[in-house]
Structure 1
Amino acid sequence: MVQIDAPTDPYKVEKNKNKSENAMDSDQIVIRLLEKCDPSKQESLDSENVPDPMDAEQTWPTSEEIEMAEKEQKTKLVKKVPKGWSDYQAAWIPDDPEFFEEDSDEESEEGMEEAMSEDKSENSDQDQDADEFQTAVDSEVAISDEKYDKEMDMEAEKRELEKLKAAKSDRQFPDEVDTPMDQPARIRFQKYRGLESFRTSPWDPKENLPSDYSRIFQFENFDRTRKRVLAEQEDKEGALPGWYITIHLKDVSQLQWSAFKSTNKPLVVIGMFPHEHKMSVLNVVLKRTNNFTAPIKSKERLIFQCGYRRFTVNPVFSSHTNGQKHKFERYFQPDSTAVATFYAPIQFPPAPVLCYKEVFGTLVLVATGSLLSCNPDRLVIKRIVLSGHPMKIHKKSAVIRFMFFNREDIVYFKPVKLRTKMGRTGHIKEPLGTHGHMKCVFDGQLKSMDTVLLNLYKRVFPKWTYEDLLVNCDNNEGSMET
């Protein structure tokens, strides 16, 4: 944009003047200059950062950084020692499970929460089964079987059935996966790691970032920048609502001008705040609507109306919770709230968000919400749960099978903490044989119906699939053009 003028309004309406006075005013054209851009203050129109391929070197960490990392990774161990013993004497006590107790309140609470969630899921499944037995009203005109079969897409029906089965399995047994028998688990899950506590264990947000992160922009303090930008806009003076103005644009391509002339429709111009043309990572809070009950899978193509922008992306969903780490949600379940993360141009909240899904050529509103933040450092952590079953149970130990199927995998995952669905915690002591049996020690005796779980985590990033979208509605049917 070069400048904004305010010429005399040729369609000005004033009741107090007669036609002759209006004719005299129309002959006197006065152009007022409202605003002219300063090239020195004008921002670049580059929406993406150009990464330097030679700027990927990493220096060796300093001794201070190594010492700080070691302090953060230290685990607390409480030992029972006789009264009056010194630290040197206590160090000679063997690390036997009978001599120490670990603080497992947090993990037990997590186990109880999962048990409660399973009870709720069973009740919801019963309600869903009850809803399925509803009376159906037959149509007056019967449809022939041949015509009905021609209109049915069996491949789409199979895909929808598989999707519903996977969503139901994820709701009943969240994050549980089967250990592959034809591939070592240490190779299949090599990108995952174990955490002492999902809530309190440290996770570096700058670690192992994808190459797309070199193309985006990030604020040092987003909230402070938002307050400063909004405060600066309040002091600016410009065209008021109802004014007749002329906007001068430069460097408009011939293709864009030809496309605008061919539509014969008015051009809508929206003034943006600083930095709102640059790409970053947006996080929006969404709540499912009642008119669409099918589950929505993460990284599925959706249409977003975020503020004044409309675009298509493949977002990743995560839980809307406090804290530094947020659990990845494989499915956006009905009657739930989640946070969608995706690459998009920067916007400053508050901004309403509408989420649509294309179903048989029409747009269906599936969720509504608002813009949460513009933060690429939001940690979306995917969790997988490996399960095993007790084979032999002793007082404070047990032989577990079916979690791994070779000795090397047991040794590889030995440092990871174990827990059970009934709230017990423990660790792997040693492998037994070469077929995946292992001896594990727990803080109490297991029950035969209990299940041993091992949690692994990795960070998930969205895919760069942003596309601007223009939707034309003709004859009450939505046709999409990008």
Structure 2
Amino acid sequence: MAGGGEQQQAHRAGVYKQKNKGHKHGKHRTKGEIERENKGRASVMVLTKKQRKDQKRMDRRHKANQLRRNKKDLVLTQKRSLGTRDGPPHLVAVVALHAGVDTQAVTQLLRAEGAGGKVRTEGGVMGDSDSFGLLLPRFKQRFVFISPSTADLYSLLDVAKVADSLLFVLDSKVGWDSYGDYCLSCLFAQGLSSHVLVCQGMSTIAVKKQAESRRGLLRLAETRFPGARLFPLDSEMDSSLLLRHLGGQKQQRLGFRSRRSHILAQRVSYAPGSTEGHMGGTATGAGTLCVSGYVRGRPLQVNRLVHIVGHGDFQLSQIDTASDPLPLIFSSSCPAKGDREMQDEGQETAVRVLMEADPNLRESLLTEAEVDPMDGEQTWPTDTELLEAEEARKSKRVIKVPKGTSSYQAAWILEDEEEENEEEDDESDDDGGLMEEGMEGEEEDGDSQGAGSGCASEDEEEEEELEEEDVVSSSGRGQAEQRYDEHMDETDEGEGLQRYREARNNEMFPDEVDTPLDVPAKIRFQRYRGLKSFRSSPWDPLENLPPDYSRIFQFQNFDRTRRRILAEEAQAEEGAMVGWYVTLHIVDVPLSVMESFQAGRPLVLVSLLPHEQKMSVMHMVVRHHPSCTEPIKSKEELVFQCGFRRFRASPIFSQHTSADKHKMEPDLVATGCLLGCDPQRVTLKRIVLSGHPFKINRRSAVVRYMFFTREDILWFKPVELRTKCGRRGHIKEALGTHGHMKCVFESQLSSQDSVLMNLYKRVYPRWTYDPYVPLPWIRREGAEKMDDMKME
């Protein structure tokens, strides 16, 4: 090649070279052709899909950034307004978590001159002698300190609902005692606001052991307050650092508090006498209550109802502005111009009517729906119905009556007995939960005839023997045991033992009841029905409702109404603004409210949203608390703390599932949240009838002990059967007249299996709402005595 000088020729394809077809792109132009023709130019009116998508993504990003910035600015505004001149004073509740700590020593250090504040006793809560107002000109902040008594649990919870910060005082050695731990459990369940941990007596510990003691307290505090700081409080310098931390800490938001305007009463006066009622009449024995305090949360409207915690709902007549008892003055020698103007204006207009209620716009105190007794009236009965009634009247039942009883009296005796039987059935069915259902048949046997009387006599003999043993052994008791027995309630102890036995019986045999021997099963269980599938079988929620359901209100869509009302409330800017010191005139208030405030208990007012005073059926999702080990039956009276409301009611417990029906069950004392408001939620009670297969032939078996009459077997024949091993079947026919029945199953049974029949009945909560809750029985002094007796 190098020497010859020949040139290499390129390869040429032959005639048999494969030629692939070109892409048929149709009549439209490709993206490449469009880009080449436009040369980078884009139409103003027409954008591609990608460009529109990019623009939407940018818009969403900008919108999210704006919402985030607005929320951040709102939080900063609320934080900066708290405790300043434009907002309400910073309300701090001092709570002792141990019986050995002294809250008065804490308040003395906070109000000392070395802390840098100026004390205003008139700025405190008059119902509490330990409360006071504190001005900090250096930080341009103002505080109100209140020391609720932990012995009164309700007062502590009421103050914690409105307090901006909670100052927990711990012991330097053990932190908190058993009662303090109980108070913390209640506060956490209710909703805990911003809090600070303080320990006393750290300076009294040796210097070498202070670091170790502090680490031990921090480890204990981590169990309840993860990541919390611990402040020592033994000097005025410590109190100054504590006040600075209180003024700048992050505020925890509580939903039930931030959406409603609320007031902690600073001053209260009462004018007794007859006042005009909300229905146009007069309410004797009531008067007008004038409550002064700072508006917190949301603007207060005069036409809205107010709820006094622990006392009920009331109406406002007017709102007055009053001079601020805790004005923020930066310098006592030379106040600012704005402060002098504010003081002069306050002196000139000490009391001025801000707004008055409009009778046409003021919300009514109506809590129950008005019932028309003629709504359920039927037309005149037909001839067939009259004929059936006449035949039923002629076919009278033969009963035993006392000698000399007339036919008229016998008719009344018959009706009374029927009513008593129905009441007994209702009590046995509805009053108890699953624990009570397991003993249901035995209780009814003892009530109806003498079948259970022998058991009752045996119980009495056992009780007499126990009493004799107690008398014999009492002579050898020590003094400590006698003191322990003095505080023992034998009645409560016996009831607790009965509940424990019923709970254990229900764990072994859930929902099982015994078929009575003296009453036909079709009459005893006539209100129950069988379901093919508990999840998918239909149940009309409007079927056979009790008469009380006509008095309650029902929402068409509770969640939608809730969102709409909260959105309207968030946009409302009318009424007394947050931070104003106002006086509310509340009408038709009983004297007991004033007496409660004079006794030293706090008075908390909250403005109600629309429809909050109306009665309906509420559903709550709860979980049991570890401290409560005793079983609680359904329809047993309990005390509920739901937001600002505290009331007594008798609830029914049910499983919370995704189905439209929920099985009733007893539960423990619990904490949780509100699920919704729906009177049409179906809660079913289940009972289980059990039988024993004693003749098994492949898929068929003869079952006994479930029923005792042929009529009962024919009555419950359509209901499906199941076994504990998972077999399913049905009743084929009755054998004889003593309750034996032939049943067919999907597969062969084992001799150890049991045949079960599930029956269901809808249950309703009792109308036992009571807003007046008595004082709690738990007291710190009582708890200390019980601890001492246990130690002895």
Same fold? TM cut 0.5: yes
Match of 2:438 in 1: none
Paired AA for residue 14 in structure 1: I
Q: 1:292 aligns with which of 628, 647, 650?
A: 628
- Out of 597, 600, 614, the position equivalent to 1:278 is 614
Q: Compute the displacement of 1:35 (Å).
A: 4.8
> Is 1:159 matched up with 2:495?
yes
1:448 deviation in Å?
0.9
CA contact (8 A) 1:299 1:462 kept: yes
Q: CA deviation at 1:400?
A: 0.6
C-alpha separation between the residues in 1 aligned to 2:502 and 2:776? 35
Rounded to whole Å, the distance in 2 between the matches of 1:284 and 1:277 is: 18
Q: 2:550 aligns with which of 202, 211, 214?
A: 214
Give the corresponding residue for 2:349: 29
Pairing partner for 2:692 from 383, 389, 400: 389
Q: Secondary structure at the match of 1:270?
A: strand
Amino acid at match of 1:52: D
Distance change >3 Å, CA 474–CA 455, structure 1 → 2: closer
Q: 1:8 to 1:160 in 2, by over 3 A?
A: closer
For 2:667, the aligned partner's letter is F
Counting aligned pairs with the same residue, the percent is 54
- Do structure 1's residue 332 and structure 2's residue 667 form an aligned pair? yes
Larger Rg: 2
1:3 and 2:318 are equivalent in the alignment? yes
Which AA in structure 2 matches 1:476? R
What letter is aligned with 1:267? L
TM superposition shift of 1:474 = 9.7
The answer (yes or no) to whether the contact 2:690–2:705 under 8 Å persists in 1 is yes
The alpha carbon displacement at 1:430 in A equals 0.7
Q: Indicate yes or no: 2:757 matched with 1:437.
A: no
Q: Work out the CA distance in 2 between the residues paired with 1:475 and 1:446.
A: 58
Of 246, 253, 256, the residue aligned with 2:583 is 246
One of 674, 684, 689 as aligned partner of 1:371 = 674
Q: Which amino acid aligns with 1:159?
A: E
Q: Distance in 2 between matches of 1:179 and 1:427?
A: 19
Compared CA separation, residues 477 and 327, structure 1 to 2 (3 A): farther
Distance 2:779 2:747 in 1: 68
Using the alignment, how far apart are the partners of 1:458 and 1:306 within structure 2? 29
Check whether the contact 1:319–1:326 (CA below 8 A) recurs between aligned residues: yes
Query: 1:421 corresponds to which residue?
Result: 724
Aligned residue pairs, count: 365
2:496 touches 2:630 (CA, 8 Å); kept in 1? no
Shift of 1:45: 0.9
C-alpha displacement of 1:372: 1.0
Distance 2:684 2:674 in 1: 21
1:23 CA drift (Å)? 5.9
2:376 to 50, 56, 65: 56
Task: Please tell me whether the aligned partners of residues 322 and 346 of structure 2 are also in contact (alpha carbons under 8 angstroms).
Answer: no
Taking only aligned residues, the RMSD between alpha carbons, in angstroms, comes to 2.9
Displaced runs of 4+ in structure 1, greater than 6 A?
30-33, 472-475
State how far apart, in whole Å, the 1-side matches of 2:491 and 2:324 are.
60
Matches within 5 A, 1:23-422: 24-29=344-349, 35-57=355-377, 142-143=478-479, 151-237=487-573, 238-250=575-587, 252-253=588-589, 255=591, 259=595, 263=599, 267-329=603-665, 331-332=666-667, 366-422=669-725
Aligned-pair CA distance for 1:191:
0.5
Per-residue CA deviations over 1:366-389 (Å, capped at 9, x if unaligned) read 421111111111111000010111
When normalised by structure 1's length, the TM-score is 0.69
5+ residue gaps, structure 2, are 1-315, 381-476, 783-792
Partners of 1:297 and 1:233 in 2: CA distance:
39
- Residue by residue over 1:296-347, the C-alpha shift from the partner in whole angstroms, topping out at 9 and shown as x without a partner, is 1111121111110111111110001111000100x215xxxxxxxxxxxxxx
Q: TM-score, normalised by structure 2?
A: 0.43
Please say if residues 694 and 702 of structure 2, whose CA atoms lie closer than 8 Å, have aligned partners that are also in contact. Answer: yes
Q: Is the 8 A contact 1:310 1:470 kept in 2?
A: no
Match of 2:671, SS? Answer: strand
Q: 1:450 to 1:58 in 2, by over 3 A?
A: farther
C-alpha distance in structure 2 between counterparts of 1:282 and 1:276, whole Å:
12
Shift of 1:34: 5.4
Greater share of strand residues, 1 or 2? 1
- Residue 400 to residue 475, structure 1, CA distance change in 2 (3 Å): closer
Tell me, yes or no, if structure 1 residue 12 matches structure 2 residue 347: no
- Counterparts of 1:144 and 1:16, CA distance in 2: 63
> Structure 1, residues 441-462: CA drift from partner, whole Å, max 9, x if none?
1111111111111110000111
Deviates more, 1:230-239 or 1:8-17: 8-17
Task: Describe the superposition over 1:134-164 as per-residue Cα deviations: whole angstroms up to 9, x where unpaired.
Answer: xxxxxxx954666655554443333222211
Q: In the alignment, is the contact (CA less than 8 A) between 1:5 and 1:32 conserved in 2? A: yes
Q: Aligned letter for 1:428?
A: I
Give the conservation status (yes or no) of the 8 Å contact 1:298–1:316: yes
> Are the counterparts in 1 of residues 317 and 585 from structure 2 also a CA contact under 8 Å?
yes
